Amino acid sequence: MTIRIDDSLMYRDRLDGLHGLDPALRDTMEERFQVIRADIAGRRKSGEYGFESLGRQDAVVASIEQWAALQRGRFDHLLILGIGGSALGAKAMLTALKGSAWNEWDAGRRDNWPTLTVLENVDPVTVLGTLDRLDPRRTLVNVISKSGGTAETLAQYLIVREWLDRSVATDAKDHLVITTDPERGALRALAGSEGITTFAVPPEVGGRFSVLTAVGLVPAAILGIDIAELLAGAAEAVDAALADQLADNAAARWAMLQWQAHATRAANVHVLMPYSDRLRDFAEWYRQLWAESLGKRLDRDGTEVFRGPTPVGAVGATDQHSQVQLFIEGPFDKTITFIRICDTVDMLTIPGRDGLGPDMSYLVGKTLGGLLDVQFVATREALRSQGRMSSTIEIDTLDARTLGHLFMFFQLATGYAGAWYGVNPFDQPGVELGKVLTFEAMGKDGF
């Protein structure tokens, strides 16, 4: 197993005896799980679970790798135009596997892999700064929109296209790669008429489930990330989540516990708290996945229910000095899921000096990674003793394979959570009204 999950601290008998979930759930949920499984099996046939097959895409990997190899050395910068599901996955991958300060390394220390800038907003200050900073002659622009009609991304495209045209003129199309629907939408039409390289997003995979499609794999390959390993990890997660008993199925069980905590213990806030800076953007990716999938007005029968937990990201140990006071002493309205990475525990010995007082001398000879891990254990125990529910996901090392596993684990868990919550986790009807009002105000035809 690439990842291990301990969810024992979700249960009352392991907490303070007062708070937490009924231990009987360990048994009583098995029967309901079989109903959930049957329901999902039916929906799988109707195509809702397209993302589950993303662990095995040999032809896609080969075509992306072949194309990416041809780009190697041509560019210093990768500029992504995309928002939401078209942005969060690439950011999460870069931060996890290359570090959040990647762009600040010189080219040699990046082994000449490009920097990454993601334009995920229409803030003109950010866009102007970015175009001022990057050299268009050394920039590859990846325009990403599953539908091909996202207003923010198309507006960015028009601005960036003019910027390219001014500097690289007729070569602009060699600086562009488009990731969009295989047939439909404005970007697909544009790519066809101009001969721009495109990669297709499978129509049966939703935007927030698309990190393991070309949406995430094209940037990953350009940045030197092993995309075959990402998918191998994802395939492992899919295999694990097919287990037909809840006791053996960590993704379904973790989802059940989050739902039960919400439904029976009023825990409407679900915190993901990796003890690692490298997973900070992963927590942002999770936030979209969990919020947009489960935040729904209607249940599967069309009854008005207004469901959905609020996902919150945190990073240990940093947030011990920010959010943990609230987690420990505030209302009993939260679950916390920690992520612990084991192979950093022995890293970076703390050196001594002469004349250190007792506030510092106890640190000498310990490792910084050990201090981080001790803080994780201490914080979990402090929360436990105050009756606060938590789960822990443990991985040995953070590499492309475990990251792919984590992505797919949370996607599978989200699918299961939709079933437990009784909502459709694959649509997002609530954002339509805002889009319509935006189109009206911008004077788009037909609005």
Residues belonging to the active site: 292, 321, 435
| Cis peptide bond N-terminal to 266, omega within 30 | no
Count CB neighbours of 232 within 10 A: 17
- To the nearest whole angstrom, how small is the minimum distance from the Cβ of residue 393 to its own copies? 17
By CB under 8 A, is residue 233 in contact with its own copies? no
β-strand partners of 66 = none
- To the nearest whole angstrom, how small is the minimum distance from the Cβ of residue 188 to its own copies? 11
Element (H, E) at 306: strand 304-307
Site for its own copies in 323-352 (CB under 8 A): 323-334, 344, 347-348, 350-352
Binding mask 73-112 for its own copies (x = CB under 8 A): ----------xxx-xx----------xxx-xxx---x---
64 vs 90 by CB, closer to its own copies? 90
CA distances from 237 to 167, 275, 336, 362 (A): 45, 21, 21, 41
Site for its own copies in 114-143 (CB under 8 A): 115, 117, 120-130, 132-133
Q: How far apart are CA 106 and CA 102, in angstroms?
A: 9
| Binding test (CB under 8 A) with its own copies, winner from 287, 299, 300, 342 | 287
- In the three-class reduction of DSSP (H, G, I as helix; E, B as strand; rest coil), residue 295 is classed as coil
42 vs 331 by CB, closer to its own copies? 331
Q: How far apart are CA 375 and CA 338, in angstroms?
A: 12
Question: Interacting stretch for its own copies, rule CB under 8 A, among 67-75, 235-243, 372-380, 406-414?
Answer: 372-380
Tell me if 306 sits within 8 A of 264, measured CB to CB.
no
Site for its own copies in 133-192 (CB under 8 A): 133, 148-149, 151-152, 154-159, 161-162, 185-186, 189
Site for its own copies in 186-225 (CB under 8 A): 186, 189, 193, 207
Q: Give the 3-state DSSP-derived string for 377-418, with helices as H, strands as E and coil as C.
A: HHHHHHHHHCCCEEEEEEECCCCHHHHHHHHHHHHHHHHHHH
- To the nearest whole angstrom, how small is the minimum distance from the Cβ of residue 68 to its own copies? 23
164 vs 238 by CB, closer to its own copies? 164
- To the nearest whole angstrom, how small is the minimum distance from the Cβ of residue 120 to its own copies? 5
Q: Are strands 310-313 and 334-341 parallel, antiparallel or unpaired?
A: unpaired
Lookup result for tokens 């339509």: 432
- To the nearest whole angstrom, how small is the minimum distance from the Cβ of residue 74 to its own copies? 20
Question: Interacting stretch for its own copies, rule CB under 8 A, among 31-39, 281-289, 389-397, 409-417?
Answer: 281-289
| Binding test (CB under 8 A) with its own copies, winner from 20, 89, 308, 404 | 308
Binding mask 15-54 for its own copies (x = CB under 8 A): ----------------------------------------
Q: Are strands 139-144 and 77-81 parallel, antiparallel or unpaired?
A: parallel
Token pair for 20: 């937490």
Question: Interacting stretch for its own copies, rule CB under 8 A, among 10-18, 24-32, 61-69, 431-439?
Answer: 431-439
Closest CA to 392 of 320, 341, 333: 341
38 vs 433 by CB, closer to its own copies? 433
| Binding test (CB under 8 A) with its own copies, winner from 41, 69, 247, 378 | 378
Number of residues that bind its own copies (CB under 8 A): 130
| Binding test (CB under 8 A) with its own copies, winner from 8, 268, 342, 394 | 268
Q: How far apart are CA 60 and CA 219, in angstroms?
A: 14
| Binding test (CB under 8 A) with its own copies, winner from 32, 61, 168, 439 | 439
**End-to-end C-alpha distance for the chain, whole angstroms:** 51
- To the nearest whole angstrom, how small is the minimum distance from the Cβ of residue 133 to its own copies? 6
Q: How far apart are CA 131 and CA 305, in angstroms?
A: 45
Tell me if 307 sits within 8 A of 294, measured CB to CB.
yes
Closest CA to 29 of 18, 39, 37: 37
- To the nearest whole angstrom, how small is the minimum distance from the Cβ of residue 431 to its own copies? 5
CB under 8 Å to 217, separation ≥6 — which residues?
60, 61, 64, 227, 230
Give the type of residue at 200.
A
Q: Is the dihedral of CA 170, 174, 178, 184 positive or negative?
A: positive
Q: Is the dihedral of CA 364, 367, 368, 370 positive or negative?
A: negative
Tell me if 142 sits within 8 A of 89, measured CB to CB.
no
Question: Interacting stretch for its own copies, rule CB under 8 A, among 43-51, 57-65, 220-228, 359-367?
Answer: 359-367
- To the nearest whole angstrom, how small is the minimum distance from the Cβ of residue 47 to its own copies? 21
57 vs 379 by CB, closer to its own copies? 379
180 vs 249 by CB, closer to its own copies? 180
Question: Interacting stretch for its own copies, rule CB under 8 A, among 27-35, 196-204, 322-330, 409-417?
Answer: 322-330
